[in-house]
């Protein structure tokens, strides 16, 4: 938000906040690839997660200290849940679901790191929720549904997949096919709508009362909602994969 | 707002990279580490269990040995007591028999003495009677009153004292 | 009527989908409380299916919200 933001109406300011900006373009192979701010935030989060896990796992101790304890608890938790839901195949999907969960937690909680995104002043860095971009959530959902389809082929084979499509009765075929579209659509739209809605509500709260209220409301709209959506997305992905391979 | 953009493909690429990197850097080493630690803890527990079992077995052995020794010692003690009691009984018996024998001997000796004394007394009485008869016969002429009887008795006593 | 005014009215109508989601989530929460009160030891499994249920029930409200946002901020 620049100084020009002062002159804008509330609706225009919200429009500007939720818009995806193209930061720069990569000119390669005759193509001009626009790099949006959400992609840059994604890269920053990726760098953080990869560097963090490299530093953490470099020296593992038998008697863990606090950061290692946290990582152990997270990995152990994801391994336990995936084994519970997916049975003996759980281990091969634990890394994927754990990555998804970790990335979603980071993506949904990163905006809390930036100072109150009020109007009229520009913090040193300004992280807007990257899941406000439908392309990001759609990519996540596409990755999940690709994993679901791939796991069906892997564990049941082509014939098993075809047989699953016409079960319990042949006329269910269109509905079974529609599931492959509805599942990712609902995953993507749920995450996108929740995060964007919470972001807009936070912008409104900041416009109404810039001092005092935003941190309290942020506890619910940013922290709680962000965590719940990360959990729901990963949980639904786990269940979809479990349905596919059982 | 719902515009499709190339961000979709970039994000899928990003996600793939993140997945591969985290699987290599975080998931595999940490899962292997957790499994290794769980295995080590299980092995340690099993080792402790085995040690406890063997300790229990050897303590059982010692206890049975100790019980055997105790029983033996008790048996020996009982035997010794029995023997001592028998010996004591035998000694007492022997002592009693000896005492009985000596008492019987003593009684016999006493009887013998008594018989001898009675014999002697009887002999003396006979001689006394004969003497008294001689004295009576000698003094028959003299008056036989009370004084003379008294005198007779005194003479008798003197004769005896002699 | 201007197109933007119609869009505002449409956004208001779209957000009414929250009604159904509210009823659905309320029912789910009430039943979950009952279930946990009846069987506290199964609270983990109940909470899992509760989360799944409210995520599905919430989806309708989210679709309404997305439509409203599309109408408001094109």
Would an 8 Å CB–CB cutoff place C62 in contact with chain B? no
Name the A residues in 94-133 with CB < 8 Å from any B CB: 94-96, 98-99, 102-103, 133
pLDDT along chain B (162 residues), means of 10: 81 91 86 86 91 90 90 91 91 90 90 88 84 76 64 74 61
Residue A121 has pLDDT above 70, yes or no: no
The beta-carbon neighbor of A186 closest among C59, C65, C72 is: C59
Chains that touch B (3 or more CB pairs under 8 A): A, C
A11 is a domain residue = no
How far is A91 from chain C, CA to nearest CA, in Å? 20
Q: Please report the pLDDT score of residue A141 as a whole number.
A: 93
Give the number of B-C residue pairs with CB atoms closer than 8 Å: 6
For residue A116, name the pLDDT band (cuts at 50, 70, 90): low
Largest pairwise CA distance in chain A: 63
A113 is a domain residue = yes
CA dist list (Å): A153 to A164, A166, A170, A243, B143: 11, 15, 20, 13, 175
How far is C70 from chain B, CA to nearest CA, in Å? 7
Residue of chain C with shortest Cα separation from B1:
C74
Q: Please report the pLDDT score of residue B125 as a whole number.
A: 84
Residue A220 has pLDDT above 50, yes or no: yes
Q: Please report the pLDDT score of residue A3 as a whole number.
A: 44
CA dist list (Å): B103 to A115, B59, B112, C1: 128, 64, 14, 156
A190 is a domain residue = yes
A12 is a domain residue = no
Structural domain including A174 reads 72-121+129-245
Quick: pLDDT tens for C24-70: 999 999 999 999 999 989 888 888 888 888 888 888 888 888 888 88
The beta-carbon neighbor of A196 closest among C52, C59, C69 is: C69
Q: Please report the pLDDT score of residue A5 as a whole number.
A: 44
Q: Which domains does chain C have, with CATH numbers?
A: 24-72 (1.20.20.10)
Mean pLDDT of all residues in chain A? Answer: 81
Count: domains in chain A: 1
Residue A85 to residue A129: CA distance in whole angstroms: 30
A228 is a domain residue = yes
Residue A36's DSSP bridge partners are A22
A31 is a domain residue = no
A24 is a domain residue = no
Quick: pLDDT tens for A10-63: 777 777 777 777 777 777 777 778 888 888 888 988 998 999 888 888 877 777
A110 is a domain residue = yes
Would an 8 Å CB–CB cutoff place B2 in contact with chain C? yes
The beta-carbon neighbor of C73 closest among A15, A190, A197 is: A15
Residue A6 has pLDDT above 70, yes or no: no
Would an 8 Å CB–CB cutoff place A33 in contact with chain B? yes
The beta-carbon neighbor of C62 closest among A189, A200, A236 is: A189
How far is C53 from chain A, CA to nearest CA, in Å? 10
Q: Please report the pLDDT score of residue A225 as a whole number.
A: 85
For residue A103, name the pLDDT band (cuts at 50, 70, 90): very high
Q: Are the beta carbons of C73 and B2 separated by less than 8 Å?
A: no
For residue A4, name the pLDDT band (cuts at 50, 70, 90): very low
Q: Please report the pLDDT score of residue A186 as a whole number.
A: 87
3-state secondary structure chain C: CCHHHHHHHHHHHHHCHHHHHHHHHHHHHHHHHHHHHHCHHHHHHHHHHHHHHHHHHHHHHHHHHHHHHHHHCC
Q: Please report the pLDDT score of residue A9 as a whole number.
A: 75
Quick: pLDDT tens for A192-206: 888 888 888 888 887
* Average pLDDT, integer, range A229-243: 89
């Amino acid at each position: 938000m620049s100084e020009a933001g002062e002159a804008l109406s509330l609706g225009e300011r919200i429009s500007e906040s939720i818009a995806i900006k193209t930061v720069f373009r990569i000119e390669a192979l005759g193509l001009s690839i626009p790099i949006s701010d959400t992609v840059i935030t994604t890269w920053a989060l990726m760098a953080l997660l990869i560097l963090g896990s490299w530093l953490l796992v470099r020296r593992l101790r038998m008697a863990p200290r606090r950061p290692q304890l946290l990582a152990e608890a997270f990995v152990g938790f994801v391994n336990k849940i995936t084994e519970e839901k997916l049975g003996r195949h759980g281990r091969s999907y634990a890394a994927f679901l754990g990555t998804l969960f970790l990335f979603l937690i980071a993506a949904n909680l990163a905006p809390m790191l930036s100072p109150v995104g009020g109007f009229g002043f520009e913090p040193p860095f300004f992280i807007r929720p990257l899941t406000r971009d439908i392309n990001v959530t759609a990519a996540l959902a596409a990755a999940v549904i690709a994993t679901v389809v791939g796991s069906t082929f892997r564990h049941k084979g082509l014939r098993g997949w075809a047989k699953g499509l016409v079960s319990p009765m042949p006329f269910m075929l269109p509905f079974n096919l529609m599931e492959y579209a509805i599942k990712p659509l609902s995953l993507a739209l749920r995450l996108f709508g929740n995060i964007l809605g919470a972001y807009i509500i936070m912008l409104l709260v900041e416009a109404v009362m810039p001092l005092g209220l935003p941190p309290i409301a942020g506890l619910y709209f940013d922290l709680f909602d962000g965590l719940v959506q990360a959990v729901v997305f990963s949980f639904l992905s786990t269940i979809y994969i479990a349905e596919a391979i059982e | 707002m719902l515009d499709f953009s190339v961000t979709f493909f970039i994000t899928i690429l990003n996600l793939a990279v993140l997945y591969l990197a985290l699987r290599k850097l975080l998931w595999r080493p940490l899962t292997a580490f957790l499994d290794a630690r769980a295995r080590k803890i299980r092995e340690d527990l099993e080792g402790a269990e085995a040690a406890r079992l063997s300790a229990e077995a050897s303590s059982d052995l010692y206890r049975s040995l100790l019980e055997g020794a105790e029983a033996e010692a008790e048996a020996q003690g009982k035997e010794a007591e029995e023997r001592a009691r028998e010996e004591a009984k035998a000694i007492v018996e022997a002592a009693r028999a000896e005492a009985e024998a000596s008492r019987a001997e003593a009684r016999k000796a006493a009887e013998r003495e008594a018989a001898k004394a009675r014999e002697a007394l009887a002999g003396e009485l006979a001689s006394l009677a004969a003497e008294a008869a001689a004295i009576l016969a000698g003094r028959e002429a003299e008056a036989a009153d009370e004084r003379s009887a008294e005198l007779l008795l005194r003479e008798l006593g003197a004769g005896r004292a002699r | 009527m201007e197109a933007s005014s119609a869009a505002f009215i449409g956004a208001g109508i779209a957000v009414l989908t929250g009604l159904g989601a509210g009823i659905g989530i309320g029912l789910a929460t009430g039943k979950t409380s009952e279930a946990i009160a009846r069987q506290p030891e199964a609270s983990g499994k109940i909470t899992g299916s509760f989360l799944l249920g409210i995520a599905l029930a919430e989806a309708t409200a989210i679709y309404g919200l997305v439509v409203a946002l599309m109408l408001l901020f094109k």
